[in-house]
Chains A and B, each alone.
Chain A
Amino acid sequence: MCLGIPGKVVEIRDDGPLRMARVDFGGVRKETCLAYVPDVVLGDYVIVHVGFAISKLDEEEALRTLELLRMIDDEGLAMELGSMADETVADSAVEPAAQPRTP
């Protein structure tokens, strides 16, 4: 129930007491209340909880996060190349989780 899902606003109805929309979740469409995201327009992505959009997804921030995630490799490589000694220390201090810990 608490799991929010991102979906795309494909239809908006402003004629009732509450601003409502059809939101598409990868092919599944649901009736969604837009009362809490008044600036949302057609084509926007929203996080939906129990039939209510609680947040509009920020495309710029989403791209920035992905960009940062992709950069980790380069940074990591630079760090590894630049601080071999640290890595040896780190490796001796932390055992890799070679196997799952569950029975």
Chain B
Amino acid sequence: MKYVDEYRNSEIARKLLDEIHHITTRPWALMEVCGGQTHTLVKQGIDEALPAGVRMIHGPGCPVCVTPLEQIDKALAIAARPDVIFTSYGDMLRVPGSTTDLLSLKARGADVRIVYSPLDAVRIAAANTDRQVVFFAIGFETTAPANAMAVYQAARLGLDNFTVLVSHVLVPPAMCAILESPSNRVQAFLAAGHVCAVMGWTEYEPIAERYHVPIVVTGFEPLDLLEGILMAIRQLESGRAVVENQYARAVRREGNREAQEAVFRVFEIGDRKWRGIGMIPSSGYHLRPEFARYDAEARFDVGTIHTAEHPACIAGQILQGTKTPLDCTAYGTLCSPQKPLGAPMVSAEGVCSAYHAAGRGLATPRAVPLHELARRQP
């Protein structure tokens, strides 16, 4: 595939890794923000091939993982109603709520449907005007333009039976929360390339300056990540702290203006609770008052929600980068992709799932195309 295969060239990967080893003179801690980046790093063994002392801390950029338990429980309460068709991105279905998950609810007869695009949910609403169709609008800045368009189209079509359960989160406030934390060890960020494709990187410039932290907008293929790491370490080694763009083929400084306009036509910024992390001020999108009639939380009374996380799950600490799945007593035993206790084991973008898929800390060996790189001398 064009724009994919050429960024997986192992020869260039080796050269990049050589260069990283060559320029690194001391330990550094870098955070890759996005779960998609974590997945590539772990699958390819890139984090293990870096110079000793250079640590990749996995960031909270898995939308499924940070969707708060209250919202999952609300989704479950709404989906259980007989008059509701509940629509969701597929990876939300197995995320554990306090007592069950959407997939189990579906098995028990609830009308829960997976959609690829939020526009599919609008189509379902248009075709089922006698039912209430609810879409679980979750995600980071990447999915916000799509979710906004669904609400906008429902309004254009005058659909009274379509609502969205919103749980949108934003990257820059989470980065600030991490940097403000007394236990923070992150010295540089690989920013999420596709979030920046939508929003651009102007929001990151004051963060780089204020916290004196290098931020490199980075793509998702192995060469992207290696180059992003190289650029970040170059900055760290030279004492610079600016925003740089590794992912120039997809990201422009101003981002996608059309998408931003659509997002802010439908949503406004407000406080948002993150699963495992807690409340982060101004870290989410909420529907604007003029779109309040499309708010599922206002349409359905779900009563009082009492949430309960599984006691063995340390997803919160993993999402904050203070622990890895290998520090978890449930990892690979009580908790697996087949029987997840926490959201990071469910999503393809979750850290626990990435570790498990790569066989880390498990008896099963893993296949790692770049594995040899980890063994060779720089």
Contact = CB atoms under 8 A, between A and B. Distances in A.
A62 B3 contact: yes
A75 B230 CA distance: 14
B19 A76 contact: yes
A90 B25 contact: yes
Given A47-B197, A47-B250, A101 B48 contact: yes
A97 interface: yes
B377 A96 contact: yes
Nearest to B347: A1
Interface residues of B, number: 77
B36 interface: yes
A75 B256 CA distance: 34
A47 to B, nearest CB: 5
A58 B248 contact: yes
Contact of A54 (B23, B26, B34, B194): B194
Given A50-B143, A57-B250, A65-B249, A1 B258 contact: no
Given A1-B91, A90-B23, A96-B21, A33 B259 contact: no
A70 to B, nearest CB: 6
B86 interface: no
B119 to A, nearest CB: 6
Interface string B45-83: 100111111000000011110000000000000000000
Contacts of B16: 69, 72
Interface string B343-377: 00001110000000000110000000001001101
B375 A99 contact: yes
B194 A100 contact: no
Interface residues of A, number: 56
B153 interface: yes
Contacts of B52: 94-97
B377 A45 contact: no
A1 B149 contact: no
B24 interface: yes
Contact of A2 (B1, B34, B326, B374): B34
B3, B6, B156, B262: which has the most chain A beta carbons within 10 Å? B3
Nearest to B18: A76
A81 interface: no
A2 B66 CA distance: 13
B375 A2 contact: no
B340 interface: no
B117 A33 contact: yes
A90 B89 CA distance: 48
B145 interface: yes
Given A49-B146, A90-B24, A58 B250 contact: yes
B149 A35 contact: yes
Residue from the set A4, A33, A80, A97 with the largest chain B CB neighbour count within 10 Å: A97
A6 B194 CA distance: 11
Interface in A45-80: 45, 47, 49-52, 54-55, 57-59, 61-62, 64-66, 69-70, 72-73, 75-76, 79-80
A49 B361 contact: no
Contacts of B23: 90
B281 interface: no
29 contacts: A1-B90, A1-B91, A1-B347, A3-B36, A3-B348, A4-B36, A4-B142, A18-B153, A47-B194, A49-B143, A50-B143, A51-B119, A54-B259, A55-B256, A59-B249, A61-B249, A62-B3, A62-B249, A65-B227, A72-B15, A72-B19, A79-B22, A89-B25, A90-B21, A94-B24, A96-B377, A97-B48, A98-B375, A100-B45
Interface of B: 1-4, 6-7, 12, 15-16, 18-19, 21-26, 34-36, 39, 45, 48-53, 61-64, 89-92, 116-120, 138-140, 142-143, 145-146, 149, 153, 156, 194, 197-198, 220, 223, 227, 246, 248-251, 256, 258-259, 262, 326, 347-349, 360-361, 371, 374-375, 377-378
Given A17-B153, A52-B145, A94-B26, 14 more contacts: A2-B142, A2-B143, A36-B259, A36-B262, A52-B259, A55-B250, A61-B249, A65-B246, A65-B248, A72-B12, A72-B15, A90-B22, A90-B23, A98-B375
